[in-house]
Amino acid sequence: MPNHVATDESNASNALTLLPNCLYALLSYRGELGAWEWSFFLANIGKGGTLFYVKIITANNSTHWKFEIDARDIVSSPEAVALVRLADISDLGQYEEIEQALSPMFKVVAIPAANSIPLDFSSRSWFLDAIGMLHDCCVLHCDDVFLLEREIRRYAFSAMDKYLQNGGLLATDVFDVPWETYGSITRIYSLYCRKVLIVSCLQVCIDDFLYFGLCLRV
């Protein structure tokens, strides 16, 4: 059995292709069905990249949230549930230049102080606020963050379903959805904003999204 799982994991990793200099939404498993950690992932050439996220820190009888930037190999992560491509931001420069440009943007997204953390604050709420910030900075265009959230959650539930159907064994699927799937929706170019994710109150269009479900090691 271990050899079989290892082979499946290797094939899954080879099957998944992340486009360099693209920004992805990443949902990671946190121990409960339907509960995920939300973050952003900037893909580099190969399987690695940079993760932008917030996490809760507990120390000295105090709890607070902190923004973090880490280099990660997301493809090999056992907790990764769904990965959705939001935008190609290669026009910002090379990988290192894009990372340097995004870092200060994410740092301005508000994180509550340790003594005044709202009950509804989470990595999800931070992620949605960050989407609004990226929209304001013309990194991507999103008119309805809650509709976007619903679509990303739908992909994550689908990935989890495949995991459960396989009895906990690795079940990685990669989907490249053609634009024809969305009928009349077309790519949009703006004079001041880059070609990006476009969301309306009636239809959702994600620029060539792909997602994958990974084995959750226990």
Instruction: Write down the pLDDT at residue 151.
Output: 86
Number of domains observed in the structure of the chain: 1
Instruction: Write down the pLDDT at residue 167.
Output: 53
Q: 143 in a domain, yes or no?
A: yes
Q: 131 in a domain, yes or no?
A: yes
For residue 134, is pLDDT > 90?
yes
Q: 213 in a domain, yes or no?
A: no
Q: 28 in a domain, yes or no?
A: yes
For residue 96, is pLDDT > 70?
yes
Span 105-121, average pLDDT? 87
82 closest CA partner among 12, 24, 121, 42? 24
Q: 211 in a domain, yes or no?
A: no
Span 151-156, average pLDDT? 86
Q: 125 in a domain, yes or no?
A: yes
Span 67-84, average pLDDT? 84
Domain range for 30 is 2-205
Q: 217 in a domain, yes or no?
A: no
pLDDT band at residue 123, thresholds of 50, 70 and 90?
very high
Mean pLDDT, all residues of the chain: 71
The larger pLDDT score, comparing residue 190 to residue 40, is at: 40
**Which tens digits make up the pLDDT trace of 18-66?**
889 999 999 888 777 778 899 999 999 877 899 999 998 887 777 889 9
